[in-house]
Structure 1
Amino acid sequence: MRVELNPNQSDTCRSMSTSSSDPEKTSPADLYRDTVFLPRTSFPMRGNLPKREPDWLTRWAEIGLDEQIKQQAEGRQTFTLHDGPPYANGHLHIGHALNKIIKDVINRAHRMSGYAVRYVPGWDCHGLPIEWKVEEEYRKAKRDKDSVPVLEFRAECRAYAGKWLNVQMEEFKRLGVQAEWANRYATMDFSSEAAIAEEIGRFLLNGGLYRGLRPVMWSPVEKTALAEAEIEYHDHKSTTILVAFPVVKDPTPAHALADVSVVIWTTTPWTIPGNRALAYGPEITYVVLRVDDTGEGALLEPGAKVLVAEALVDAFCKEAHVTAHHVLYTLPGSALEGAVCAHPLRGAGYDFDVPMLPGEFVTTEAGTGLVHMAPAHGEDDFRLCRAYDVEVPEVVQDDGTYAPWVPGFAGVHVFKAADVVCATLAAVMEQANANGLAPAGLVARGELVHSYPHSWRSRAPVIYRATPQWFIRMDGEGALRNKALDALDDVTFVPAQARNRLTSMIQNRPDWCISRQRAWGVPIAVFVEKRTGEVLRDATVMKRVVDAFREEGADVWYSAPASRFLGPDRNPDDYEQVFDIVDVWFESGSTHSFVLGQPGLSFPADLYLEGSDQHRGWFQSSLLESVGTRGIAPFKALVTNGFVLDEQGRKMSKSLGNVVAPQDVNDSLGADILRLWVMNSDTNEDLRIGKEILKQQGELYRRLRNTLRWLLGALDGYTPEEAVPYAELPELERWVLHRLTDLGGLIARAVETHEWVGVYPALHGFCTTDLSAFYFDIRKDALYCDAPDSHLRRSARTVLDHLHRCLTTWLAPVLVFTAEEAWTARFGDVESVHLQAFPDMPAEWSDPALDERWAGLRAVRRIITTEIEGARRDGTIGSSLQAQVELTLSQEEAAHFANVNWNELAIVSHVEVMIDPESNSVYVEGSEGGTLHGAPVVRAAEGEKCVRCWKVLPETGSRPEFPGLCLRCADVVETTFKASAVSAAAGQEGA
């Protein structure tokens, strides 16, 4: 068979033309168009993520990807990230998405690094937020909650939590989160409720659990104690008052306190009926001040004598409208020991002494340097009064109203009591003045806007209220506080400064109040002996309780008789059955006990990861619970993420209209965009999100997608037989592989340290700066125009193969859908990218010296490019390939940049290197002496433009059988035509 080869006449040649079937009308450019190896790929330019992502979820479910992942993990070293349970009471918000995406990225990266990862997601299902929602429905229906049987109410709460648990699960799946969804945990599962009850029992039996009276944060709206983690602080306008307490016992020399009244300042007028003592600072200097004159609005009269701190005299006089005064006595605080005052409402039901007690917490920062003590309504108040055996009265009921036995204020709500209290105290002062007695009652009234604790559920202000509650002791026998602090010594914190936050909270926290006066939750399933008031500590009783909970759930505590738990040897009539429920933070803090330790889930967990608010929430409760029952922390490392704010740095709220819902982002842009936003952010700090920020993330995504698309197109038809060994690769290709080792090391360190901030921005920078704007730009000529078997083209495609494998797998933990698409576009859908491992980086690829050399070359290239741009602007050239460059180098530079193909590097048709032996180096650091050579000179290249590669060369057209081609392109086209002709002839012969 003879093959005719004449590009102007042969059928083979004509078949390659796409513009005309008439050879005489075919231009050279059209003739050779199909000989250019342009990228081809099925991977589309547009992601269309909102439509395609759900299809991938369906596909993964069809192929059983989760089960494949589980099987793949067998025999590997385990990595356990224990999921902090979100609350099952509504759609996911952006904070949920942030947290779960970070967890998912960490889990996927560990899996692709060779670890066995079993991620069991969980939910908090008990507690006040769900009760609150169910009660809201009752209120709408004008239904009385107290009339609903407790088991019916609990069933409604269970149904509500179950509904939202399933909704949230589907929303997490849509975000691309991989987890053992069928094996999820929930605190309302019977097995979970039994485990929580068992953990309570552990504290009961080891002596850590006790019932005691102490002030706790109390919500009058929700009628229950609250944990610190359930509190948020908002600005609140409070009434401030100055109140005079007449001295009735004066221990000072020379009776300095005769006819003197002690003046206190408080922002809680409603606590005056609960006052039982006053506190002074032993180290503070006080004065007895006589009022000489007063201004408008003053309640004190001239001649009145009051005791205040010396440092606060001016502030006191201003607030009390005292315009003239003088000091009668100066007293050290220690001189007040033994002094006793009368309550300002003495004679109206408050006929008890009010002792003055030394308090180290008293300061002169505000007020009068003297503090009124209401021991039922403040922690300092309670501790100081208890230390001196001062009564702790119960004056406020669970709904925030004064009790019926409170003289003068019964039934008044504490948040509406300021006017009543002030009016009563003002009347007392008026009577004291009229009778010429020492001042008693209201001295002044004002207002103060300050940060005040509110319930994060009802958004209503809270109070301190002393009630009998169940506590886990932090000090004393067992010293839980010290054990917890010691356990933190072995925990890694990311960021590192978070250690100080959690440590200080443990150091300063009071005993842990774990009881709540509600109905939906795990009851504190204990008994108290009526005769002695002692809690029953019996392991057998506790086992009966746990076994019953495991079989029937915590509802059995309400439905079964007490005798079922107490057993035949005890009379139920002798015991009080406790129906307080346990704090939900204790529940979530106990999750390690029923989640970790399963096959494939290690205890302690390798990692807990939550928002920064969990230092006072889940991190702390988990630590205390685990240390208290097992002696060790339940985690080896703690990672903290910040909160999500809007683009102006404001907290998100419906009223501001700045809420960004993850569901909306999924539907408009796609979950991969949201995931990219997370990993491009500094998650150690508070993050910002909004339309413009998401638009920017969309642009970053587009660049990454274009990088993957170009790689796939340039690898069209690539086979392993093309691969070039590392030692034979050109220097530029070896530099790219070195950069891959840098990035591989960055990702490996992030996997081991959990510090991911900056990793994916670095990967994006590599794709845009090192690849698209540099390496791809340089190698397009070889990839598009070199012969398929050329060493340079094969070398480039060898590196592109590594790039595609590395980038697709490195991006897979974040762009879970896009990476799968980019993987299957090349390798088919036989195996998911999520079953791949991160590629190993051969040690020989790492070459720091090469990196330093190419940093210098790129700097020179930027200078050349700047000059080329100038030539384009002034019309000297059109494109860079129309340029030739005269590059002057010193001898040192010529040696330093030896063997560089400047034509390739500058993407010009010709670079003429001129060596100036007299000049000093401008491009190599550290050189001294001599004159500086000039900048690169750009002029129009000599020769004709090759219609195939567009280089302007004198040789173009020198082969008449290939008009318009340079010699390189003529050789490639000749080879291509031969191959095509042989193929066509073989086809005809076969036919």
Structure 2
Amino acid sequence: MDYKDTLLMPKTAFPMRGNLPNKEPVRQAQWEEMNIYEKVQKRTEGRPLFVLHDGPPYANGDLHIGHALNQILKDFITRYKSMSGFHAPYVPGWDTHGLPIETALTKKKKVDRKKMSIAEFRQKCAEYAMGQVNSQRTQFKQLGARGEWDNPYITLTKDYEAAQIRVFGEMAKKGYIYKGKKPVYWSPSSESALAEAEIEYQDKRSASIYVTFEVTDGKDVLDGGEKIIIWTTTPWTIPANLGITLHPDLIYAVVAVNEEKYVIAKDLLEEVSEVLDWKDPQVVKTFKGEEADRVIARHPFYDRDSLIMLGDHVTTDAGTGCVHTAPGHGEDDFIVARSYGIEALSPVDDKGVFTDEAPGFEGIFYDKANQAITEKLDEVGALLKLGFITHSYPHDWRTKKPTIFRATSQWFASIKDFRQDILDEIKRVNWYPAWGETRLYNMVRDREDWCISRQRSWGVPIPVFYGEDKTPIITDVTIDHVSKLFAEHGSNIWFEWDAKDLLPEGFISEHSPNGTFTKETDIMDVWFDSGSSHQAVLAGRPYLKRPADIYLEGSDQYRGWFNSSLSTAVAVTGESPFKTIISHGFVLDGNGRKMSKSLGNVMVPSKVQKQWGVDILRLWVSSVDYQADVRISQEILKQISEAYRKIRNTFRFMLANLADFDPATDRVPESELEEVDRYMLHQLGELVGNVRESYDKYEFSPIFHEIHNFCAVDLSSFYLDFAKDVLYIEEKDNKRRRSIQTGYYEILTTMVKLLTPIIPHTTEEIWEYIPGVEEESVQLTDIPEPNKMEDFTETVAKWDQFMKVRDDVLKALEEARNEKIIGKSLEAKITIVPKDEETKAVLKNMEHLHQYLIVSEAVVTDNNEEAKAYKYVDVAVEKHPGEKCQRCWMASETVGEDKDYPDLCTRCASVVKENYTA
């Protein structure tokens, strides 16, 4: 007889290799065919609603690894919520307006804007954007992301634009929208105003100059002829200078140097003397800044006055304490000049080129004018020092080119009018990580007005009409009418129809006695677009809700979508649009460097999918501390793949040992389970509790580590290992065998559910092989609550102590192997001497001790002089004197006792006789 035929060896068709890159697309097609998203929504209908609102990615280009991190995190949460008592619909969205799409058309697609109308160009933009949406949608679905992909929200759709118009109208109605001329970030490369959220800082090399302005009217404080010194890193703004600002409380000094008298802040005398190489400067007079109010100096090379003004923004951190003031090119400059009744002068056009308001420099690009202006200052004797510095400077985050401050007529949302309401709402929000609250709070606290107008074509028009006297017209009637027009026709009609056709029939206004109207040509900031999603989506779809439970985006969105959403929502509703903000860091390469094509370290999600599989990418996301910057590389993915293989093979082993198990008939009631199986189910309950707690706290790396550790330690090195001697050797319906199988079944089904939000392709595959499951998909199940296993405390303590003893025994066996006393552990007979009464009680009363320790015999005694000392027990290891059973491989002195089977131990001989002989 071949004894192999008498063993109940594991059997399963579940493959050892995942072959994920090939299988996952097939699985995704199956989900689509079975409408899994709709089935999940139907199953959870009536449960408490949970809404994670998707921040819209920009519809341009393929997904990068940051997109994958973001989308997978969202999918973890919505999948978990739908399996833990909630109804969690997920509506993905796209941001579709803005400059990058205009640029893509004109540069990549070679579209000639000059040969078409604005409306025709906008139609081209819309078509391009929708093509990008479709491409990105496919890529998002390939990540295994589950959602309402056939009905997303898109910022260019009619319903969305109509809702956005209503948000604008409500803010205007409350007095938060106004038009004014003030300095804003201006991008010459984009030819448009920018909001703070569209600015990023990069190093730039700039000129550093010290310039003198001669006093012409000292107002009895100065004699006249003194030279006030200013310092600036923007020489190009000197033609726009209209004044010099001093701090009212600073002490200023008139300093005599080489027969000249200069004016600077007294506290900066030492620093300025060093920079300008002054030898033995003499202070001839001091005065308080406020005394010099309205003193008049002369512009260095134009025949006009430069007024001395007072402002609290002046500091002694750098420079001279006398601030060159060009109200057309700086916010502080603008504010202080306005208080003196001085209008802003901004002699550069949309492209950053000087106009005829800067005589001598007309037609020169502002940055190139730095040299010409510096040379002019030197020529007229006003330049004291020229140097260069490298400093952090604002750049257009789209074009990556420098911006300027430029006073233009723009539309603003006056954040300061409802700033305190926003700050109060920030305190009511839950923040992950906690520092997010401080970050957004400080941004809002320091924010004045939000420039919401852009001088572009591709965006939502600002719905404002002008009367014949140029007065802006924004009324409930016009807003409602335009909103309805957009809902019916789309916003392109703003550029296709005349103003009179866009107004309600018979509309009259005191500002147009002849009934003639014009319309605004600027569009809204794209952050106003996406920031209106709470109205267009959360309030616009009856199965969602406002506020959403979660907004989850990258940490760059504190200045972006988090900020604009909060601002518009508080303005319109008085409340935050979100209850919780979760932010994640950026994805870096394995060395912690930013990814870039030039470094060749870019990881593309599609390539990761084809090489490793989506579930490996998803498992990687679960393994990292995503709230900080995270790293990814081939080496890291290889490590994740090893962890995946361990988890997969653990599941495969349990599946294989359930081949003859029918849960309907073979499941052992919990009260009748063997102690070790109850103990393992208790450990499983602990795992479930910890994992659910981590899911609830949106912490996924503890889930990855706990499940991986449970597979590697609790299961593979203990429960799955010792159980082979029962599962393979005993007869099919042996009670201990069925008890272990019951334990396996509970562990397998529970862990598959725990992991479904993270690696759904794999868990769905496993689910198909589990005997007796009724649901067609694991996604249509709930994650179980932790099994409390009442009145089991003493037993848990007993087995916890045994596991400590087991560690000692494993060390002893390893040392015996190294000393060549034994080969495999089944060759061993061990003698254990407990060191304390607790350990003694545990071991003395433990049946099957040798099986749990995977040795052929285990003896517990009070004394053994040959035993080596360990932490909890002393252990002596010797080679077992019995012969090896040819069926179970245990060494036993009973081998040969049964004459029919002389090479088997009595246990195996009994099983074979009863089950495998005719």
Corresponding residue to 2:915 among 976, 980, 988: 976
State how far apart, in whole Å, the 1-side matches of 2:630 and 2:14 are. 32
Q: Give 2:904's aligned residue.
A: 965
Instruction: Tell me if structure 1 keeps the 8 A contact 2:3–2:887.
Output: yes
State how far apart, in whole Å, the 2-side matches of 1:382 and 1:856 are. 75
Instruction: Tell me if structure 2 keeps the 8 A contact 1:891–1:916.
Output: no
Where does the alignment leave 5 or more consecutive residues of structure 1 unmatched?
A: 1-12, 14-30, 292-301, 430-440, 925-932, 982-991
Q: Using the TM superposition, give the Cα deviation of residue 732 of structure 1 relative to its aligned residue in structure 2, in angstroms.
A: 2.5
Q: Using the TM superposition, give the Cα deviation of residue 573 of structure 1 relative to its aligned residue in structure 2, in angstroms.
A: 5.4
Per-residue CA distance 1:170-226 (angstroms, 9 max, x = gap): 001111011111111111111111111121111122222111112111110110111
- Determine whether 1:951 maps to 2:890: yes
The alignment partner of 1:586 has SS state of: helix
- C-alpha distance 917-335 of structure 1, shift in aligned 2 (>3 A): farther
Q: Using the TM superposition, give the Cα deviation of residue 898 of structure 1 relative to its aligned residue in structure 2, in angstroms.
A: 4.9
> Equivalences for 1:58-77 in 2 at 5 Å?
58-77=29-48
The alignment partner of 1:322 has SS state of: coil
Instruction: Tell me if structure 2 keeps the 8 A contact 1:276–1:354.
Output: yes
Q: Give 1:782's aligned residue.
A: 726
Q: Give 1:504's aligned residue.
A: 442
Q: Give 2:410's aligned residue.
A: 469
Instruction: Tell me if structure 2 keeps the 8 A contact 1:83–1:122.
Output: yes
Q: Using the TM superposition, give the Cα deviation of residue 846 of structure 1 relative to its aligned residue in structure 2, in angstroms.
A: 9.0
Q: Using the TM superposition, give the Cα deviation of residue 955 of structure 1 relative to its aligned residue in structure 2, in angstroms.
A: 1.5
- Whose Rg is larger? 1
- C-alpha distance 758-377 of structure 1, shift in aligned 2 (>3 A): farther
Aligned residues: 907
Q: Give the ranges of 4+ consecutive aligned residues of structure 1 lying more than 6 Å apart after TM superposition.
A: 917-922
Q: Give 2:828's aligned residue.
A: 883
Q: Using the TM superposition, give the Cα deviation of residue 335 of structure 1 relative to its aligned residue in structure 2, in angstroms.
A: 4.2
Q: Give 1:514's aligned residue.
A: 452
- C-alpha distance 896-223 of structure 1, shift in aligned 2 (>3 A): same
Instruction: Tell me if structure 2 keeps the 8 A contact 1:484–1:506.
Output: yes
Q: Using the TM superposition, give the Cα deviation of residue 707 of structure 1 relative to its aligned residue in structure 2, in angstroms.
A: 1.2
State how far apart, in whole Å, the 1-side matches of 2:576 and 2:619 are. 33
State how far apart, in whole Å, the 2-side matches of 1:512 and 1:845 are. 60
Q: Which residue identity is paired with 1:186?
A: I
Q: Which residue identity is paired with 1:912?
A: V
Corresponding residue to 2:380 among 402, 408, 428: 428
- C-alpha distance 149-537 of structure 1, shift in aligned 2 (>3 A): closer
Corresponding residue to 2:853 among 874, 890, 906: 906
State how far apart, in whole Å, the 2-side matches of 1:314 and 1:37 are. 92
Q: Which residue identity is paired with 2:498?
A: P
Q: Using the TM superposition, give the Cα deviation of residue 923 of structure 1 relative to its aligned residue in structure 2, in angstroms.
A: 4.8
Corresponding residue to 2:818 among 866, 870, 873: 873
Per-residue CA distance 1:12-52 (angstroms, 9 max, x = gap): x5xxxxxxxxxxxxxxxxx2112222221111111111111
Instruction: Tell me if structure 2 keeps the 8 A contact 1:682–1:758.
Output: no
Corresponding residue to 1:587 among 515, 529, 537: 529
Instruction: Tell me if structure 2 keeps the 8 A contact 1:738–1:845.
Output: no
- C-alpha distance 206-223 of structure 1, shift in aligned 2 (>3 A): same
Q: Using the TM superposition, give the Cα deviation of residue 356 of structure 1 relative to its aligned residue in structure 2, in angstroms.
A: 3.2
Q: Give 1:861's aligned residue.
A: 806
Per-residue CA distance 1:121-175 (angstroms, 9 max, x = gap): 111111111112112147x57x4x3453101110110111011100000001111
- Determine whether 1:453 maps to 2:394: yes
Instruction: Tell me if structure 2 keeps the 8 A contact 1:611–1:643.
Output: yes
TM-score, normalised by the number of residues in structure 2:
0.95
Q: Give 1:10's aligned residue.
A: none
State how far apart, in whole Å, the 2-side matches of 1:781 and 1:473 are. 76
Q: Which residue identity is paired with 1:832?
A: S
Q: Using the TM superposition, give the Cα deviation of residue 312 of structure 1 relative to its aligned residue in structure 2, in angstroms.
A: 3.0
- Determine whether 1:718 maps to 2:657: no
- C-alpha distance 697-917 of structure 1, shift in aligned 2 (>3 A): closer
The alignment partner of 2:282 has SS state of: strand
State how far apart, in whole Å, the 1-side matches of 2:404 and 2:473 are. 31
State how far apart, in whole Å, the 2-side matches of 1:773 and 1:191 are. 58
The alignment yields a C-alpha RMSD, in angstroms, of 2.3
Q: Give 2:690's aligned residue.
A: 746
Instruction: Tell me if structure 1 keeps the 8 A contact 2:463–2:474.
Output: no
Instruction: Tell me if structure 1 keeps the 8 A contact 2:427–2:437.
Output: no
Q: Using the TM superposition, give the Cα deviation of residue 73 of structure 1 relative to its aligned residue in structure 2, in angstroms.
A: 2.6
Q: Give 1:365's aligned residue.
A: 317
The alignment partner of 2:297 has SS state of: strand
- C-alpha distance 405-802 of structure 1, shift in aligned 2 (>3 A): same
Identity across the alignment (%): 41
The alignment partner of 2:556 has SS state of: helix
Q: Give 1:126's aligned residue.
A: 97
Corresponding residue to 1:541 among 478, 499, 502: 478
Corresponding residue to 2:273 among 317, 322, 330: 317
- C-alpha distance 784-290 of structure 1, shift in aligned 2 (>3 A): farther
Q: Using the TM superposition, give the Cα deviation of residue 578 of structure 1 relative to its aligned residue in structure 2, in angstroms.
A: 0.6
Q: Give 1:404's aligned residue.
A: 356
State how far apart, in whole Å, the 1-side matches of 2:843 and 2:249 are. 76
Q: Give 1:434's aligned residue.
A: none
Q: Using the TM superposition, give the Cα deviation of residue 99 of structure 1 relative to its aligned residue in structure 2, in angstroms.
A: 0.5
- Determine whether 1:280 maps to 2:246: yes
- C-alpha distance 371-831 of structure 1, shift in aligned 2 (>3 A): same
Q: Using the TM superposition, give the Cα deviation of residue 751 of structure 1 relative to its aligned residue in structure 2, in angstroms.
A: 4.1
Instruction: Tell me if structure 2 keeps the 8 A contact 1:343–1:354.
Output: no
Q: Give 2:649's aligned residue.
A: 706
Q: Using the TM superposition, give the Cα deviation of residue 248 of structure 1 relative to its aligned residue in structure 2, in angstroms.
A: 2.6
- C-alpha distance 385-123 of structure 1, shift in aligned 2 (>3 A): same
- Say which is worse superposed, 615-624 or 734-743, in terms of deviation: 734-743
Corresponding residue to 1:659 among 602, 621, 633: 602
Corresponding residue to 2:56 among 85, 94, 111: 85
- Determine whether 1:633 maps to 2:576: yes
Per-residue CA distance 1:83-122 (angstroms, 9 max, x = gap): 1111111111111111010001101101111321211111
- C-alpha distance 135-845 of structure 1, shift in aligned 2 (>3 A): farther
State how far apart, in whole Å, the 1-side matches of 2:413 and 2:792 are. 58
Corresponding residue to 1:341 among 280, 290, 297: 297
Q: Give 2:766's aligned residue.
A: 822
- C-alpha distance 945-539 of structure 1, shift in aligned 2 (>3 A): same
State how far apart, in whole Å, the 2-side matches of 1:956 and 1:158 are. 83
State how far apart, in whole Å, the 2-side matches of 1:936 and 1:332 are. 88
- C-alpha distance 963-489 of structure 1, shift in aligned 2 (>3 A): same
Q: Using the TM superposition, give the Cα deviation of residue 252 of structure 1 relative to its aligned residue in structure 2, in angstroms.
A: 6.6
Corresponding residue to 1:603 among 529, 546, 554: 546
Instruction: Tell me if structure 1 keeps the 8 A contact 2:430–2:579.
Output: yes
- Say which is worse superposed, 236-245 or 720-729, in terms of deviation: 720-729
Q: Give 1:329's aligned residue.
A: 285
- Determine whether 1:525 maps to 2:467: no
- Determine whether 1:732 maps to 2:685: no
- Say which is worse superposed, 335-344 or 484-493, in terms of deviation: 335-344
Q: Give 1:801's aligned residue.
A: 745
Q: Give 1:578's aligned residue.
A: 520
TM-score, normalised by the number of residues in structure 1:
0.88
Q: Using the TM superposition, give the Cα deviation of residue 619 of structure 1 relative to its aligned residue in structure 2, in angstroms.
A: 0.8
Q: Using the TM superposition, give the Cα deviation of residue 916 of structure 1 relative to its aligned residue in structure 2, in angstroms.
A: 5.1
Q: Which residue identity is paired with 2:816?
A: A
State how far apart, in whole Å, the 2-side matches of 1:700 and 1:325 are. 73
Q: Using the TM superposition, give the Cα deviation of residue 545 of structure 1 relative to its aligned residue in structure 2, in angstroms.
A: 0.8
- Determine whether 1:550 maps to 2:487: yes
Q: Using the TM superposition, give the Cα deviation of residue 742 of structure 1 relative to its aligned residue in structure 2, in angstroms.
A: 2.0
Per-residue CA distance 1:342-364 (angstroms, 9 max, x = gap): 222243xxx1232232x322222
State how far apart, in whole Å, the 2-side matches of 1:367 and 1:856 are. 72
State how far apart, in whole Å, the 2-side matches of 1:422 and 1:83 are. 51
- C-alpha distance 251-940 of structure 1, shift in aligned 2 (>3 A): farther
